[in-house]
Structure 1
């Protein structure tokens, strides 16, 4: 009876507090607009890969996997947008534990999965440039499928740990990961894995670009096959570069927020709060440009898109 009364009192008190901010509707609108663009953009390479047999190569299988994960991101972020930026969602997530936890965990599967997908693409290109003569032995349909299975497994397991009791959620609290995910998990496991992956991917791609440039100078009359590998490398470097451009603001502001003492977070400057929230809207914007990059960098994808759109 006492617990029931306390819950009702908390809910009543929450009704008198305004948990939304003036800029929330704008963030929500931008996020939904980007989500629609992202979904439509990634459907192009997905449909092209499924319908056109000439695209069935190990590299394109990884591109297909990345497109699936990025398209899934548009759907997966819907619950977290609801509980973060709409008054109805905020109020219900304060009283419904699994609405709050599921919203965060589903979104995290897509976010970390998108990052690990970029890792896979980078590793594949590294093998192509560093070990060109062993490439077709190391990169096969079987090895790529295993990599994709491992990619999805890690993404899911890393993201759903809070659903199995590793959380400090309590009624009446705002559904914010930093408030109910243990610091050990949220910062020192989840965020560290993200940053480590980003750093390793950056180093790998820089190394690939440097080695490729040196090889290009030494062997200007390279074979058509090697020339094709270099074109794919340039295309995927653009994909990785755009990924970093739009993901880093959210990661940096989130890390700053997480390392700010809990008692000081509510006192953070207004300008930081605005940037912190708007930076979230950039997550996923990178993949809006991927179809354009594929069309510009790959003749096969360009022809496939033309066939799908019945152009030419």
Structure 2
């Protein structure tokens, strides 16, 4: 049984013993002289996250204002091209690229607006509204990285299970994978608003208000696993390309020197493409994830908080680069884009200006493979 003689001062300030019930509650919520909300967050709580100085605000505002609209338009264009082209909608590869573009559209819509609203205009929302906004940003970036994983797994199956690829990766299975990805992404992203959050300022992350460090640690761990799988898939594809290159170098009767040089160009292009993909992925994501891991392990300094604001914009840059790496470098998607532009603008293309240039680019693609699957398909001798 509880001791009914426990002094009132154990739970409330000493003055509360002579106060009414209402006065005692008010005193408890203003203990130590700082007004606090019922959740234990004082009026200055959000200010500890608004650490950017004026020059930093200007630089980050410029990055967001330039990168956000460009990213949005790029990815909307990819979605429109895939959505209006029948043969692209029926191929799993382009469904995964469409999922990636949709995630990056969300990222370019949510991140710049919420980031600038918080750091530049110093908006102080309630915990529920802030966590809802943060959930939107988390959903966009998680969906983007998850779609990159689906794309890399699709390319891996295309190379290592080439004879069975069409039976293994059907449109129905691709759609099921995309739906499963987004359901999982939504659930993970909005866990804080459903209760997995901190309830005391001293227990919260110094990167995200109202967010528990354990949640950040779990999310970072998940992202690192996904990134590791992506890097592993592309590393195996590169290894497969290296094996093909070694086979091509072996002397074989009837093999022309021109054919060997053509395959060597394909190998070099493939290595450059995959190297660029992995380099951009690592450069854009590792800095942010590293600082988030530090936040889980110890208290961050103000300089580390400022650095994270800049690192966060790199994730938006990754969303801007994704359409260039995964979509617009693809010959079939570029052709579909040209056809769409012809239909929309009514350009006949018989008189040479822009169209000849586009046709020449497509002609060059016939000599140099543009995508991972096209590169390795050309490497297969049979």
8 Å CA contact retained: 1:101, 1:163: yes
State which of 30, 48, 67 in structure 1 corresponds to 2:101. Answer: 67
8 Å CA contact retained: 2:284, 2:318: yes
**Worse overlay, 102-111 or 3-12:** 3-12
Write the mapping of 1:261-300 to structure 2, written as runs, cut at 5 A.
262=299, 265=300, 268=301, 270=303, 272-294=304-326, 297-300=329-332
What whole-Å deviation, never above 9, does each CA across 1:66-108 have from its counterpart, x for those lacking one? Answer: 111111111222564146413431xx23xx1112211211111
Task: Give the total of aligned pairs.
Answer: 296
State which of 288, 305, 313 in structure 2 corresponds to 1:250. Answer: 288
Counterpart in the other structure of 1:226: none
Q: Aligned pair 1:143/2:169, yes or no?
A: no
SS in 2 for 1:133: helix
State which of 103, 106, 119 in structure 2 corresponds to 1:85. Answer: 119
8 Å CA contact retained: 1:239, 1:293: yes
Counterpart in the other structure of 1:225: none
Counterpart in the other structure of 1:196: 225
Alpha-carbon shift at residue 307 of structure 1 (Å) = 3.0
Structure (1/2) with the larger helix percentage = 1
Alpha-carbon shift at residue 209 of structure 1 (Å) = 1.1
- How far apart are the structure 2 equivalents of 1:200 and 1:295? 21
TM-score by length of structure 2 reads: 0.67
Higher relative contact order structure (alpha carbons within 8 Å, sequence separation ≥ 6) = 1
TM-score by length of structure 1 reads: 0.81
8 Å CA contact retained: 1:235, 1:294: no
Counterpart in the other structure of 1:58: 92
Q: Aligned pair 1:167/2:193, yes or no?
A: no
8 Å CA contact retained: 2:96, 2:150: yes
- How far apart are the structure 2 equivalents of 1:295 and 1:103? 29
What whole-Å deviation, never above 9, does each CA across 1:210-264 have from its counterpart, x for those lacking one? Answer: 1132134426889xxxxxx99899867744542333222222222223322x3xx
8 Å CA contact retained: 2:81, 2:336: yes
- How far apart are the structure 2 equivalents of 1:159 and 1:192? 14
**Worse overlay, 79-88 or 130-139:** 79-88
- How far apart are the structure 2 equivalents of 1:233 and 1:129? 15
What whole-Å deviation, never above 9, does each CA across 1:27-85 have from its counterpart, x for those lacking one? Answer: 23312321111101111211110112232311111111111111111122256414641
What whole-Å deviation, never above 9, does each CA across 1:253-293 have from its counterpart, x for those lacking one? Answer: 22223322x3xx2xx263x3432221111112123233333
State which of 236, 244, 251 in structure 2 corresponds to 1:215. Answer: 244
- How far apart are the structure 2 equivalents of 1:140 and 1:74? 30
SS in 1 for 2:190: helix
- How far apart are the structure 2 equivalents of 1:109 and 1:172? 26
Alpha-carbon shift at residue 123 of structure 1 (Å) = 0.6
- How far apart are the structure 1 equivalents of 2:186 and 2:302? 35
**Worse overlay, 190-199 or 235-244:** 235-244
Alpha-carbon shift at residue 25 of structure 1 (Å) = 3.9
8 Å CA contact retained: 2:204, 2:212: no
- How far apart are the structure 2 equivalents of 1:235 and 1:153? 31
Runs of 5+ unmatched residues, structure 2: 1-21, 250-254, 260-265, 343-353, 356-382
Residues 294 and 20 of structure 1: CA distance in aligned 2, closer, same or farther (over 3 Å): closer
8 Å CA contact retained: 1:121, 1:236: no
**What is the Cα-based RMSD across aligned positions, in Å?**
3.5
- How far apart are the structure 1 equivalents of 2:104 and 2:337? 18
